Amino acid sequence: MNDKSVRVVIGGRVQGVWYRGWALEQAQRLNLQGWVRNRRDGTVEALFSGAPETVDEMINACRKGPPMAKVTALGQHSAEPPEDKGFRALPTT
């Protein structure tokens, strides 16, 4: 089965509530490839790549996020898989 790659942008109260660290831990636990970063506009952006059902599980988890987060929007778009292996946090853009 082919891997699925999706870029998501999560809005709401998602910065300053450990969302990026939570997403990093969840994605690594699920053995996904990709990255997560804060954006200057207050959103969090991520690229998830892996088995389709695992990517879908991660996206569903992102709709809730960590306990202090309040997700009000989640946009997703098909994406190219990441060039680097593993899952990591990137600097804010």
Task: Give me the active site residues, please.
Answer: 20, 38
How many residues in the chain? Answer: 93
User: Read out DSSP for 1-31?
Assistant: ---EEEEEEEEEE-SSSSHHHHHHHHHHHTT
Helix (H) or strand (E) holding 59: helix 52-62
